């Protein structure tokens, strides 16, 4: 990127507050991408596109990438911008100019509009009505699985996190939902890695009056490898007491790795492992480790996840189990 410059292009306005939106977006995009972002206006404000390109062309550049912050592929994108760029391209023949697509009808815009709409619709509504509205909005905006039960689980996760991108990111083993529902209906205990997951599980939804226990309660009495985290020690201790429990791990990759170790050693037989630990250290590897085991699982690959995700998955399965009564 040393020889490439990036410019956000906006329409421009004479109103100061409106002019500030484009540089604010440039700063946010720069932080998100790790790339230096310039900005320029088509009219009514400075710097203009020509001024910005003239300044950047003094550097040793090979490419200038331009991102139009316009909703549609209208006249500005189809005609006005090419007309502005043609003489600049002739003047700076050593630089290639790349013009990006306009924003268009992107589902990520729907996320923002959903938030605005929800804030306007919830006045005077009950909690149940607000939740129902939220799920309808999720149905309309999130990219969800087509299989009905997986879709219900994904909706709960999107609702818990506020992130429609997670709808299609969940990974289910072939019989994960069947096994999870059967276990919950039969009253199988649920072990969570941390108290946050336990707190997020709605016990009123559980169809079998299932016990929900946090592994941390077993950490002090557990014998594990030297230097093991409390969550790892706790999960070992909890599984000694409940070797056939449903597992909901949303925070600690070390706890999930202990589960995988115990699976390899045939010491436990969980009907379902929900493995969604979050973070940049060990989470990706732990979830990939789980996906390779001979066990029914639901996971969220990558660095994303967390206690709300694990709890939402259990709540979704509990709701599905309750619907089958």
Q: What is the pLDDT of residues 165-213, one digit of tens each?
A: 898 999 999 999 999 999 999 999 999 999 999 999 999 999 999 999 9
In the chain, the number of structural domains is 2
**Coil vs helix vs strand at 51:** helix
Same domain? For 173 and 85 the reply is no
Same domain? For 192 and 51 the reply is no
Instruction: Give me the count of residues in the chain.
Output: 325
Evaluate whether residue 142 is within a structural domain.
Answer: no
CA distance 308 to 225: 28
Neighbours of 267 (CB within 10 A): 12
Is the per-residue pLDDT at 220 higher than 80? no
Same domain? For 179 and 317 the reply is yes
Evaluate whether residue 264 is within a structural domain.
Answer: yes
pLDDT value of position 185: 95
Same domain? For 81 and 168 the reply is no
What's the whole-number mean pLDDT along residues 13-31? Answer: 89
- Pairing between β-strand 297-299 and β-strand 171-172 as defined by DSSP bridges: antiparallel
- Pairing between β-strand 190-192 and β-strand 171-172 as defined by DSSP bridges: unpaired
Q: In the Cβ-directed half-sphere of 8, how many Cα atoms lie within 13 Å?
A: 22
Cis ω for the linkage preceding 64 (within 30 of 0): no
Same domain? For 171 and 311 the reply is yes
- The burial class, CB within 10 Å (0-12 / 13-18 / 19+), for 97 is middle
Looking at 27-41, 158-172, 210-224, 232-246, which range is the least confident one? 210-224
Q: Alpha helices of the chain — where are they, by DSSP H? A: 16-33, 49-57, 75, 81-91, 107-121, 127-141, 148-161, 176-185, 195-200, 230-241, 253-264, 283-291, 307-323
Give the strand order in the sheet containing 297-299.
171-172, 297-299, 273-275, 246-249, 190-192, 212-214
CA 131 to chain centre: 20
Q: Containing domain of residue 234, as a range? A: 162-323
Evaluate whether residue 299 is within a structural domain.
Answer: yes
CATH number at residue 41: 3.40.50.1400
Same domain? For 214 and 294 the reply is yes
pLDDT value of position 269: 96
Going by pLDDT thresholds of 50, 70 and 90, the confidence category of residue 132 is confident
CATH number at residue 311: 3.40.50.10230
Answer with the one of 99, 125, 154 that is the final residue of a domain: 99
**pTM for this prediction:** 0.66
CA distance 77 to 64: 16
Determine which one of 11, 94, 107, 159 is catalytic: 159
Same domain? For 93 and 169 the reply is no
Same domain? For 11 and 85 the reply is yes
pLDDT value of position 125: 64
Same domain? For 175 and 84 the reply is no
pLDDT value of position 123: 58
Going by pLDDT thresholds of 50, 70 and 90, the confidence category of residue 117 is confident
Evaluate whether residue 134 is within a structural domain.
Answer: no
CA distance 186 to 188: 6
CA distance 192 to 178: 20
pLDDT value of position 177: 97
Residue 159 designated active-site = yes
**Coil vs helix vs strand at 158:** helix
CA distance 207 to 94: 69
Same domain? For 174 and 314 the reply is yes
Mean pLDDT, the chain, whole residue set: 89
């Amino acid at each position: 990127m040393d020889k490439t410059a990036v410019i956000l292009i906006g329409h421009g306005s004479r109103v100061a507050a409106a002019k500030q939106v484009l540089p604010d977006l440039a700063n946010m995009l720069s932080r998100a991408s790790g790339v230096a972002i310039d900005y320029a206006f088509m009219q009514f404000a400075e710097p203009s596109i020509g001024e910005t390109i003239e300044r950047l062309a003094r550097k040793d550049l090979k490419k200038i990438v331009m991102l139009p912050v316009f909703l549609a592929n209208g006249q500005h994108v189809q005609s006005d911008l090419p007309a502005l760029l043609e003489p600049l391209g002739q003047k700076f023949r050593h630089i290639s100019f790349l013009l990006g697509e306009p924003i268009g009808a992107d589902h990520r815009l729907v996320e923002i509009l959903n938030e605005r709409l929800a804030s306007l619709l919830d006045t005077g509504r009950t909690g149940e009505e607000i939740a129902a509205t939220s799920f309808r909005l999720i149905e309309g905006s999130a990219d969800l699985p087509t299989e009905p039960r997986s879709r219900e689980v994904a909706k709960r996760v999107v609702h818990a996190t506020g992130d429609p991108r997670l709808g299609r990111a969940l990974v289910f083993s072939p019989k994960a939902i069947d096994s999870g529902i059967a276990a919950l209906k039969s009253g199988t205990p649920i072990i969570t890695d941390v108290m946050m997951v336990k707190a997020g599980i709605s016990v009123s939804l559980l169809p079998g009056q299932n016990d929900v226990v946090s592994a941390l309660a077993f950490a002090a009495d557990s014998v594990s490898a030297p230097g093991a985290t409390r969550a790892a020690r706790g999960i070992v201790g909890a599984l000694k007491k409940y070797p056939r429990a449903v597992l909901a791990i949303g925070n600690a990759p070390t706890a999930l790795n202990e589960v995988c170790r115990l699976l390899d050693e045939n010491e436990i037989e969980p009907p379902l492992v929900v493995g969604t630990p979050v973070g940049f250290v060990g989470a990706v590897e732990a979830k990939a480790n789980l996906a390779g085991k001979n066990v029914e699982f639901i996971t969220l690959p990558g660095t994303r996840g967390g206690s709300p995700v694990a709890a939402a998955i259990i709540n979704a399965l509990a709701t599905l189990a309750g619907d089958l009564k």
